Chains A and B, each alone.
Chain A
Amino acid sequence: MSTVAETAQKSPSTRSLAARLIRQRSALIGLVIVLFFVFLALFAPLIAPYDPVASDWLTVRQPPSAAHWMGTDDLGRDVLSRVIYGSQASLLAGTIAVSIAILAGLPLGLIAGYFGGWIDTVISRCTDALLACPFLVLAIALAAFLGASLQNAMIAIGISAMPIFIRLVRGQVLSIKNEDFVTAARGQGMRDGPIIVSHILPNVVTPVVVQATITMAVAILAEASLAFLGLGQKPPAASWGSMLDVARQFMTNAPWMSIWPGLAIVTIVLGFNLLGDGLNDALNEKD
Chain B
Amino acid sequence: MRIGRRLSVAAAVMLAAMSSVSAATLKVGMQDDPDALDPALGGTYAGRIVFDALCDKLVDIDANLKIVPQLATEWSWNDDNTELTLKLREGVVFHDGTPFDANAVKANIERMQTLGESKRKSQLSPIKTVEVVDDFTVIFKLDAPFAPLLSVLSDRAGMMVSPDAAKAAGDNFAAAPVCSGPYRFAERKARDLIALDRFADYWNADEIGYDRIEYLILPDSTVRLSRLQAGDLDVAERVAPTDIQAVEDNADLALYSSAGLGVSHLFINQSEEKGEDLAASKELRQALELSLDRTAINQVAFNGAFTADNQMLTPLSSYHSKAYPMPERDVEKAKELIAESGVESPAIEITYENSLTDGRVAQIIQAMAGEAGFKVELLPLETSSAIERYLAGNFQLYIGNWSGRADPDPTLNTFFSTEGSQNLVGYESSELDSVLNEARSEVDETERAALYEKAAGILLEDLPTIPLYHPSWFYGARADVDGISIYPDGILRVTGVMPKN
Contact = CB atoms under 8 A, between A and B. Distances in A.
Given A75-B300, A148-B354, A234 B363 contact: no
Interface stretch (B165-173, B264-272, B375-383): B375-383
A57 interface: yes
A22 interface: no
B224 to A, nearest CB: 12
Interface string B361-380: 01110110000000000111
Interface string A144-160: 10011000000000000
A252 B222 contact: yes
B243 A57 contact: no
Given A55-B367, A250-B242, A235 B378 contact: yes
A234 B240 CA distance: 24
A136 to B, nearest CB: 17
B296 interface: yes
B471 to A, nearest CB: 16
Nearest to A250: B242
A148 B300 CA distance: 25
Contacts of A74: 300, 360
Contacts of A186: none
Interface string A13-45: 000000000000000000000000000000000
B299 interface: yes
Contacts of B299: 57
B64 interface: no
B472 to A, nearest CB: 18
B242 A75 contact: no
A107 interface: no
Given A76-B300, A249-B242, A144 B364 contact: no
Of the listed residues B220, B359, B380, B381, the one surrounded by the most CB atoms of chain A closer than 10 A to its CB is B359
A234 B380 contact: yes
A253 interface: yes
Contacts of A250: 242
A144 B222 contact: no
A253 B364 CA distance: 20
A245 to B, nearest CB: 7
A75 B360 contact: yes
A34 to B, nearest CB: 31
B241 to A, nearest CB: 10
B438 to A, nearest CB: 43
Contacts of A144: 382
B300 A230 contact: no
- Provide the main secondary structure of the chain A interface: loop
Contact of A235 (B220, B221, B246, B362): B362
B434 interface: no
Contacts of A252: 222, 242-243, 246
A75 B222 contact: no
Which secondary structure dominates where chain B touches chain A? Answer: helix
B356 interface: yes
Contact of A251 (B222, B296, B363): B222
B385 interface: yes
A248 interface: yes
Interface string B238-258: 001011001000000000000
Contacts of B354: 148, 230
A246 B356 CA distance: 7
Given A55-B367, A235-B380, A252-B243, A147 B385 contact: yes
Interface string B298-334: 0110000000000000000000000000000000000
Interface residues of A, number: 23
Contact of B222 (A76, A230, A234, A249): A249
B295 to A, nearest CB: 10
Contacts of B367: 54-55, 75
Interface in B335-377: 354, 356, 359-360, 362-364, 366-367
A232 to B, nearest CB: 11
A55 B364 contact: yes
Contact of B378 (A75, A76, A234): A234
Contacts of A231: 382
A205 interface: no
A249 B221 contact: yes
Contacts of B364: 55, 75
A60 interface: yes
Contacts of A245: 356
A127 B363 CA distance: 42
A235 B300 contact: no
B251 to A, nearest CB: 18
A134 interface: no
A55 B363 contact: yes
A194 B373 CA distance: 59
A117 interface: no
A262 to B, nearest CB: 16
A147 B386 CA distance: 11
Nearest to B357: A249
Interface in A234-276: 234-236, 245-246, 248-253
A144 B382 CA distance: 8
B380 A148 contact: yes
A249 B240 contact: yes
A284 B144 CA distance: 86
Given A75-B364, A148-B354, A230 B242 contact: no
A211 B358 CA distance: 40
A79 to B, nearest CB: 15
Nearest to B354: A230
Interface of B: 220-222, 240, 242-243, 246, 296, 299-300, 354, 356, 359-360, 362-364, 366-367, 378-382, 385
Given A54-B367, A234-B378, A248-B220, 20 more contacts: A55-B363, A55-B364, A60-B300, A75-B363, A75-B364, A75-B367, A147-B381, A230-B354, A230-B382, A231-B382, A234-B380, A235-B363, A236-B366, A236-B378, A245-B356, A246-B359, A250-B242, A252-B222, A252-B242, A252-B243
Interface of A: 54-55, 57, 60, 74-76, 144, 147-148, 230-231, 234-236, 245-246, 248-253
10 contacts: A55-B363, A55-B364, A75-B367, A235-B359, A245-B356, A248-B222, A249-B242, A251-B222, A252-B243, A253-B242
